[in-house]
Structure 1
């Protein structure tokens, strides 16, 4: 599987996605520093919330194969500037989290538009609680690896 870096605001679900991918129990855990897994890099939300830390994202992304921009569908705002993904010379995907908490289809559409505006080339709608989209995201990352070989 390709290694993905997860970038998104605090509490958007980056750590929970990592826990799900690696068969760990799902529990809230505030990410204080960059956490690395075999096939994922979990970044603190403050790295996207404060432009001063963009440089840290660029440096950390050097160890990733895919850039994953993570957007909680229950959040109305996005911290991703337009074309943010273009600062990385890698494939950029969008991951919508907490789809089970969406009140309307507009919540999902807004999150999708935020990610597309940020430069995501493909969008995955996920829910760790229901399992929605997790297998599709994992398959995408595995397929990406096969295409490189």
Structure 2
């Protein structure tokens, strides 16, 4: 993957685990304390930056990426993403529903709707533990690479 992405979402949404899966690392819980660049293509962000409205730090960091990835876990009731949130960045935006192995069909559909309302043009439903949904996500990223 050459397309540089930033992952934005609340704490425990699965952003770091998503990065671990994509880089073939062992999946283990690790609290992200600061913005971290992984393999020069992924920017993992602390959930607190989003939750506590430190959106300036997210906006400045997002200026250096090609695509915004909004991350929401399937089991979250409600969402913290306001409608149209992605327009803040002026860049392509996709959504990733994580932990689909834990959510019901209804919860997953709700998470997809929240991400779409926030401005995600395409949404992927994934599980870092089963690998579900990553083929489609990686294929989409490869398509973005070819247009870069």
Q: Give the TM-score category using the shorter length.
A: over 0.9
Partner of residue 128, structure 2: 128
Q: Which runs of 5+ in 1 are unaligned?
A: none
Q: Which moved more, 1:134-143 or 1:42-51?
A: 134-143
Q: Which runs of 5+ in 2 are unaligned?
A: none
CA RMSD in angstroms, aligned pairs only: 0.8
Normalised by the length of structure 2, the TM-score is 0.96
- CA shift digits 1:98-132 (9 cap, x unpaired): 00001x21111110111011111000000001101
1:27 aligns with 2:53: no
Alignment of 1:45-60 (within 5 A): 45-51=47-53, 53-60=54-61
SS at match of 2:109: helix
Partner of residue 83, structure 1: 84
Partner of residue 145, structure 1: 145
Aligned residues: 146
- State the Cα distance separating 1:64 from its structure 2 match: 1.0
- State the Cα distance separating 1:77 from its structure 2 match: 2.1
How far, CA to CA, are the matches of 2:24 and 2:105 in structure 1? 29
